[in-house]
Structure 1
């Protein structure tokens, strides 16, 4: 099979043996896969990414010196079954899944070796018990958004929004835009979203932001203040940091009112700093959000399949496997893209 392989920061399309499903596993043909920001981090900051995982969990970690097939946002079609499977999803059925295997060592497809490839391959193995069958009415390209929507659902849950809270979304990349969509689904608002990209600001409006801000022209914190009101009747703020660039957390600390909850969903791969005295004096809460539980993944898919999450505008471009290295090589701020999908074929 063809696959995009990452090793020592370099991506290339090559041929690999088909993976073999083990006990309780199925083989799927990948129909669509999304390019996630964490994939870009693996390519650009492989050693730091792996060390962060090992430090956080004590085991595992991404090894940049070993060949890895990235891709943890995917939709596949079941084409074969391993031993000890039940066949609950018929051959030919489309599926999504949490990117994890329950075999010994519990590898994460998309972050492990090429024997358990992620979605940037033509085929991959998945644990049957974790499969969610995609209904006929849901297009493949929308089903491919399940994973980033699960990330957004978890981030919003970490925010603990109350009925009076005013959400501020800083950064309208795929996760920031997904956060906007989840906030709109939950009836939160007014939603203020900020991004330097005109295209992404338009997408934020399409996905449910009430006000979009160009930080070059005006302060998103002033706009948020206008939306929240002033004095004793001012509404509380929940800010979502969806950029992952050094200095942004401090900007939010400096610009936010007292008792703001800050949810950090952006993955910053370099050292950062902030002024703790400012956060202390304002009694701010700083929370961090990472991935989701299997239950949150399933709930996100259910809302997507039910039509509660109108997120079609998130998909801005579709490329072939041969184009993936070029997408990774593009400067991070050079595009208005949101979710870039990789389709079958060249």
Structure 2
């Protein structure tokens, strides 16, 4: 997990930033929130370890949401874990057409400021090399690269 992304999380108001490569995320969350959290979101696409942390950090009856795809990595988990802990599990594709007008309105009227998520701005003709390739080769250094005509 890149230091830049951890710092961005802090800058955007995260109360607790954990690095799963350096600590036991589930144990740490349960230390901070005895009994587990109400809701947990998995957005890394890191596969089984991320799903284990997603489910393991929840309280009984908590809500788990997966908002990314573990591309090329089928992820297994024991469905009994959902049943015995009464966890609600939701998958979200993330690009829901009806959400766009609400997000644009929130940006327009100042309720949402996306500037901290934009790590670079590039011209359309530079998108293959300075956009896509850069995100693949330097994923830890970027969040979103804005492409303009």
TM-score with structure 1 setting the length:
0.38
- Give unpaired runs (5+ residues) of structure 2: none
SS in 1 for 2:90: strand
Matched, 1:305 2:97: no
- Give unpaired runs (5+ residues) of structure 1: 1-195
Give the match for residue 141 of structure 2.
336
Give the match for residue 243 of structure 1.
44
Cα distance in 1 for partners of 2:110, 2:28 equals 31
SS in 1 for 2:17: strand
Task: Give 1:329 deviation, angstroms.
Answer: 3.3
Task: Give 1:213 deviation, angstroms.
Answer: 1.3
Bigger helix fraction = 2
198-207 or 212-221, which deviates more: 212-221
Q: 2:123 aligns with which of 320, 331, 337?
A: 320
Task: Give 1:215 deviation, angstroms.
Answer: 1.7
Cα distance in 1 for partners of 2:124, 2:102 equals 30
1:318/1:342 contact within 8 Å kept: yes
2:64/2:90 contact within 8 Å kept: yes
Aligned-CA RMSD value? 2.3
Give the match for residue 215 of structure 1.
20
**CA pair 236-215 structure 1, distance change in 2 beyond 3 A:** closer
Give the match for residue 65 of structure 2.
263
Give the match for residue 202 of structure 1.
7
**CA pair 343-298 structure 1, distance change in 2 beyond 3 A:** closer
**What is the total number of aligned residue pairs between the two structures?**
144
Runs of 4+ in 1 over 4 A off after TM superposition: none
**CA pair 243-332 structure 1, distance change in 2 beyond 3 A:** farther
